[in-house]
């Protein structure tokens, strides 16, 4: 069975990170990087983004070797987006020390004919105006998912709510869910958010896994227990990549929610577990280093372990 193809739009960046495990300066980062590498274990991916002249062509070549379509990556004069952050003993939350948008500041995604015909769309954490611009250009995707953050939820609340009306799946963390809904209880928050448009809500909870809210109910997925967490950066994006990649590999469509709700719910739950498993590799090293040396057989073995951990009876 041929997988559906995914288009993701977001950032390709450099990160400078310090954590209790050490430091890494100007290593590869950005939502598109983490998402596309994770998704490529399951399905073909197209990426849309912008980088400066300082971005390594060797990395673009490596992405191509993973059968990731990089034709939507613009290389323009200037420097690549650079984020500097740190973690203390609370590895669930990064502290931003500086953000240099550089060429990303003027990013204006333009979709080619191939991009417009894509099956799935994942709108990574960027300005909701740009997210809506992408949706205005795609033709008839079978599934649309979106990520956002507190910066956009507080800074452009109307724009966020407008784009949410056109989305099937929203992926955010617990604090963002409270902020978006105005509630401090996840059950009530999920009801309000799902009333804004997305029928499916995923709440990412870091080392505690993820919660899935659908019309059929709630699924609580644990994180895979990792002995040493080095760098949590990108874990949420790699979770989303594997989640969407698994759905694409199963050729899941939004219509399943009506035609076969049990199949839809079961597939979503398995996709969440795929996301949790893949994210557990991401945190084991700085940057994309662990994902880039990850082999499919390792991912499959750990996924089976996680499924075994939640079985009973």
CA–CA separation, 112 vs 72, rounded Å?
8
Q: What average pLDDT does range 132-155 have in this prediction?
A: 96
Distance CA 75, CA 94 (A): 28
What average pLDDT does range 199-221 have in this prediction? Answer: 95
CA nearest 235: which of 279, 274, 271, 276? 279
* Terminal Cα-to-Cα distance of the chain (whole angstroms): 32
Region 22-36: what's the mean pLDDT? 97
CA-to-CA distance for 51 and 65, rounded, in angstroms?
Answer: 19
Token look-up 């929610």 returns: 257
| Domains defined for the chain, CATH in brackets | 6-309 (3.40.1190.20)
d(CA 252, CA 247): 5
Output DSSP code: residue 92: T
* d(C-alpha 107, C-alpha 116), whole Å: 18
pLDDT band (50, 70, 90) for residue 198: very high
Q: Residue 24 has what pLDDT?
A: 97
Exposure b/e, 32-64, CB count within 10 A at least 16 = b: bbbbbbbbbbbbbbbbbbbbbeebeeebbebbe
Sheet of 13-19, strand order = 22-29, 13-19, 82-86, 95-100
pLDDT of 93 > 90? The answer is no
Assign 92 a pLDDT band (cuts: 50, 70, 90): confident
What pLDDT shows up at residue 70? 97
Each residue's pLDDT tens digit, 240-288: 999 999 999 999 999 999 999 999 999 999 999 999 999 999 999 999 9
Check: CB of residue 152 under 8 Å from CB of residue 130. no
In this predicted structure, the answer to whether residue 91 has a pLDDT above a threshold of 90 is: no
What is the structure's pLDDT at 248? Answer: 98
pLDDT in tens, 34-78: 999 999 999 999 999 999 999 999 999 999 999 999 999 999 999
Q: What is the pTM of this model?
A: 0.97
**Could you tell me the two tokens for 89?**
């003993």
Over residues 102-118, the mean pLDDT reads: 96
Contacts 24+ apart (CB under 8 A), 209-217: 209/276, 210/239, 210/272, 210/275, 210/276, 211/186, 212/268, 212/269, 212/272, 214/257, 214/264, 214/265, 214/268, 215/257, 215/261, 216/261, 216/262, 216/264, 216/265, 217/265
**Residue 257: how many other CB atoms lie within 10 Å:** 19
The pLDDT of 1-30, averaged and rounded, is: 95
């Amino acid at each position: 069975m041929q997988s559906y193809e995914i288009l993701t739009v977001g950032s390709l960046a450099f990160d400078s990170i310090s954590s209790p495990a050490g430091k890494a300066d100007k290593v590869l980062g950005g939502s598109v990087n983490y998402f596309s590498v994770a998704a490529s274990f399951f399905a073909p991916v197209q990426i849309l983004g912008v980088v400066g002249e300082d971005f390594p062509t060797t990395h673009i070549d490596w992405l191509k070797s993973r059968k990731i379509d990089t034709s939507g990556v613009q290389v323009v004069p200037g420097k690549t987006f650079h984020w500097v952050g740190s973690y203390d003993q609370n590895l669930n939350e990064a502290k931003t020390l500086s953000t240099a948008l550089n060429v990303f500041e003027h990013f204006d995604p333009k979709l080619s004919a191939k991009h417009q015909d894509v099956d799935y769309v994942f709108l990574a954490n960027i300005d909701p105006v740009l997210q809506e611009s992408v949706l205005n250009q795609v033709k008839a995707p079978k599934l649309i998912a979106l990520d956002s953050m507190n910066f956009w939820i507080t800074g452009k609340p109307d724009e966020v709510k407008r784009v949410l009306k056109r989305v099937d799946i929203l992926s955010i963390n617990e604090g963002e869910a409270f902020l978006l809904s105005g509630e401090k209880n996840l059950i009530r928050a999920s009801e309000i958010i799902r009333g804004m448009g997305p029928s499916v809500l995923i709440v990412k909870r870091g080392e505690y896994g993820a919660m899935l809210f659908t019309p059929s109910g709630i699924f609580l997925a644990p994180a895979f227990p990792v002995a040493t967490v080095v760098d949590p950066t990108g874990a949420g994006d790699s979770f989303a990549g594997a989640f969407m990649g698994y759905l694409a590999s199963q050729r899941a469509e939004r219509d399943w929610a009506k035609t076969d709700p049990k199949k839809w719910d079961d597939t979503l739950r398995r996709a969440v577990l795929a996301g949790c498993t893949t994210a557990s590799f991401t945190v084991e090293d700085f940057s994309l280093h662990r994902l880039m040396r990850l082999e499919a057989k390792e991912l499959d073995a750990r996924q089976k372990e996680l499924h075994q951990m939640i079985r009973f009876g």
